[in-house]
Structure 1
Amino acid sequence: MTVRVYLVAGELSGDILGAGLMRALKARFADVEFRGIGGPRMIAEGMVSRYPLEMLSVMGLVEVIKHLPELIRVRRDLRRDALAWRPDIMLGIDAPDFNLGLERQLREGGITTAHYVSPSVWAWRQGRVKGIARSVDAMLTFLPFEAEFYRRHRVPVAFVGHPLADELPLVNDREAVRKDLGLASDALILAVLPGSRANEIRFLGSTFLEAAERLCHRIPRLHVVLPAATAQRFTELERLLVEYPVLRKRMTLLDGLSREAMVASDVVLLASGTAALEAMLCHRSMLVAYKMAPATHWLAKRLVKTDWISLPNLIARESLVPELIQEAANAAAISERLEAIFNDAKGRQVLERRFAWMHETLQRGASARAAEAVEALIEGRELPQSVAPEIADAS
């Protein structure tokens, strides 16, 4: 019997996740068909894509409002298409603002639905979980604390592990990567990642570079590695570096290669976001600092319901890495905290072992586990329970 799976991905990261899930589903079902919206990777796996992936890649309030009539038309067409095709299951991959509404409509039409990649409902606007419960038969989460949140709210959930943890090795070779990047093996190396977005460079770029230059005066062996996320970020950072001549002599500006920079480093300075998770999965000590527009920060303080902003701390449920936010994220404070981390070699070693253990708890074969949950939903069975080991001190 042919199994029909309707998938809707909203951006390139969703295309990567969707392609991995499709491969895992083809390994479970002898005959499976895929339809919906996907990118080049999903199409290569056999997806019949109704629209280009870019159709849903709309960022920012103004852009969403501008494209809202078209997005409504696309969702209405997908609803008609899915109800006519009658898939065994529909999965929205990320893009919650678009997908949760579609999932709810299809579920009301008698189709089993699931959502792959939890929105940050545990952090802000927690009341959204009631709408999620009406939209999906199950939520598939990357992180264990997300699964705990849904269980508390009685939403069926499967913790599948994180694909990035599957991608990154449990053992990495710092010395080999330093050699590849032309970095001295005996240097103390700071990787600086101010972010991939223009606004992050605007709010954090100069602060991070000034902090690194201050640190150069304090630590003679320090070498700074600065990976630029895009060609545009490379140009912006080159322009900023003119103001920091001491730092410029003690640093390497890279075109991309952020992961290599983190592996080569002793300590990472970064903006909050996925980069903090990646640094954790590279098993490196870090300092997380973040600034935003004053009005955005004022609103965030009133809406966000969490004690931490960085994923390593959220996963561990404790303050493993320092976080400096808004006014506290100034060059003097950042350089002082970084100096303390560099001076505590034993503390860095303990944290690297802890991060390796946390990495192992998240490295669970996410695509295969997601496919296992999908199969259970299609067959009307209970979701497989995959509870992570307690993320305790592994030192």
Structure 2
Amino acid sequence: MSRPLRVALVAGEASGDILGAGLMQALKEKHPQVEFVGVGGPRMEAEGMQSYFPMERLAVMGLVEVLGRLPELLSRRKRLIRTLIEQKPDVFIGIDAPDFNLGLEFKLRKAGIKTVHYVSPSVWAWRQRRVLKIREACDLMLCLFPFEARFYLDHQVPVRFVGHPLANTIPLQADQLAARELLGLEADAPVVALMPGSRGGEVARLGELFLDAAERLRAMRPGVQFVLPCATPERRAQLEQMLAGRNLPLRLLNGQSHEALAACDAVLIASGTATLEALLYKRPMVVAYRVAPLTYRILSRLVKSPYISLPNLLAERLLVPELIQDAATPEALAQTLSPLLEEGAVLQTAGFDVIHRALRRDASEQAAEAVLGLAAGA
């Protein structure tokens, strides 16, 4: 394609912003005459996105929690549909945020715009009938993981498994000593990373729990140190309040989640995208999560998968411990985490290496190739 190309993208949170920026960079390399419109975060804006409104307005979690934001979200989607139909992009790419993007994709496809959904929703785990809506909404599904592609092929949805960009970005073997030197940590002391999530709601539910677990782990292993990467200044202030009155050898970091993972020996981590990052850094982990009680009751009836964490889904077996809702107590987390500071981590890390190599597929390049093929009518 040599003519100018207009690509519309909508990302709903930080992980989507990272994926979108990588895809945009790959598209520019393959097709220099490209214009980007839609909604994105700072990374996508740095690649040339003209964002119609701040991406953060789409970031919301939980079934119950979204209700208070529903009128705004519906209004924004309605305006976006109108704007994008007027703009007539060659292709629209919805990045994750399925509850927002799939409805958008459905309307745009009906208006004659080719649509791509990048990052499969967890349709294989719960509400599987959503695959019928996906089939109507998008011309192509781009999957990060192989088990997702198998699901879509079984349901006659055009799909391409592209791998995960982080699998190429993160080295097969991280330099732990260099990371510790960078963060000013002792070279030979046991270090545990605490990662209670990037959203305010996640930190509110998991922050105190993780700190309580850290105190219990320190009582079991007096020499242990902790690092906690803060996604934003707001999350740092939130955690500083939780730390008041505690005597923990803990260092709050401004961002630097990858440095924390490279430096640590084990991770206590919220279920989500960060578990994949911990896997790629080959750091043994304990996964924990809590949501609003009503949200949990609803989800527990709907979810069909036996696992919630990406490492276990990718391994298709119980590779890492999952402590969910009432099972996630400080005592249980500390007791489960402690053996991972010794030889108990070997089985986890061996499994992580196999998965890492399987996901190394130059995802942004493959995604860009698939998008350009669709835009060109291939």
TM-score by length of 2: 0.89
Instruction: Report the CA distance between 1:375 and its aligned residue.
Output: 3.1
Query: Structure 2 matches for 1:328-339, cutoff 5 A?
Result: 328-339=327-338
Q: Which residue matches 1:308? A: 307
Query: Structure 2 matches for 1:274-289, cutoff 5 A?
Result: 274-289=273-288
Q: Which moved more, 1:269-278 or 1:89-98?
A: 89-98
Instruction: Give unpaired runs (5+ residues) of structure 1.
Output: 382-395
Instruction: Report the CA distance between 1:38 and its aligned residue.
Output: 4.8
Q: Which residue matches 2:77? A: 71
1:305-339 deviations in Å (ceiling 9; x for gaps): 21111111111111110001111111111111112
Contact 2:339 2:345 in 1 (8 A): no
Q: Which residue matches 1:367? A: 364
- 1:324/1:30 Cα in 2 relative to 1: closer, same or farther (>3 Å)? closer
- 1:196/1:15 Cα in 2 relative to 1: closer, same or farther (>3 Å)? closer
- 1:217/1:105 Cα in 2 relative to 1: closer, same or farther (>3 Å)? closer
Structure 2 residue corresponding to 1:234, chosen from 224, 233, 236: 236
Taking the aligned partners of 1:282 and 1:137, their CA distance within structure 2 comes to 34
Q: Which residue matches 1:266? A: 265
Contact 1:39 1:52 in 2 (8 A): no
1:208 matched to 2:210? The reply is: yes
TM-score by length of 1: 0.85
Query: Structure 2 matches for 1:1-395, cutoff 5 A?
Result: 1-2=2-3, 4-11=5-12, 13-29=15-31, 31-38=33-40, 41-42=43-44, 45=47, 49=50, 51-54=52-55, 57=58, 59=60, 60-82=66-88, 87=90, 89-245=91-247, 248=248, 250-343=249-342, 345=343, 347-381=344-378
Taking the aligned partners of 2:76 and 2:335, their CA distance within structure 1 comes to 50
SS at match of 1:7: strand
SS at match of 2:135: helix
Q: Alpha carbon RMSD of aligned pairs, Å?
A: 2.5
Instruction: Report the CA distance between 1:58 and its aligned residue.
Output: 5.2
Contact 1:96 1:119 in 2 (8 A): yes
Instruction: Report the CA distance between 1:56 and its aligned residue.
Output: 5.8
Q: Which amino acid aligns with 1:178?
A: R
Instruction: Report the CA distance between 1:299 and its aligned residue.
Output: 1.0
Q: Which moved more, 1:235-244 or 1:331-340?
A: 235-244
Contact 1:7 1:93 in 2 (8 A): no
1:232-286 deviations in Å (ceiling 9; x for gaps): 33233333334433xx2x3333333222122111110111111111111111000
SS at match of 2:188: coil
SS at match of 1:21: helix
Taking the aligned partners of 1:185 and 1:132, their CA distance within structure 2 comes to 49
Q: Which amino acid aligns with 1:73?
A: R
Instruction: Give unpaired runs (5+ residues) of structure 2.
Output: 61-65
Q: Which amino acid aligns with 1:330?
A: T
Q: Which amino acid aligns with 1:65?
A: P
Taking the aligned partners of 1:239 and 1:14, their CA distance within structure 2 comes to 29
Q: Which moved more, 1:360-369 or 1:28-37?
A: 28-37
1:118-146 deviations in Å (ceiling 9; x for gaps): 22222221111101101112101111121
1:201-244 deviations in Å (ceiling 9; x for gaps): 33222222222212212223322223333323323333333443
Instruction: Report the CA distance between 1:298 and its aligned residue.
Output: 0.8
- 1:72/1:147 Cα in 2 relative to 1: closer, same or farther (>3 Å)? same
Q: Which amino acid aligns with 2:372?
A: E
Q: Which amino acid aligns with 1:237?
A: L
Q: Which amino acid aligns with 2:265?
A: D
Q: Which amino acid aligns with 1:244?
A: R
Taking the aligned partners of 2:48 and 2:221, their CA distance within structure 1 comes to 54
- Aligned positions, number: 371
- 1:152/1:176 Cα in 2 relative to 1: closer, same or farther (>3 Å)? same
- 1:50/1:237 Cα in 2 relative to 1: closer, same or farther (>3 Å)? closer
- 1:65/1:152 Cα in 2 relative to 1: closer, same or farther (>3 Å)? same
Q: Which amino acid aligns with 1:52?
A: F
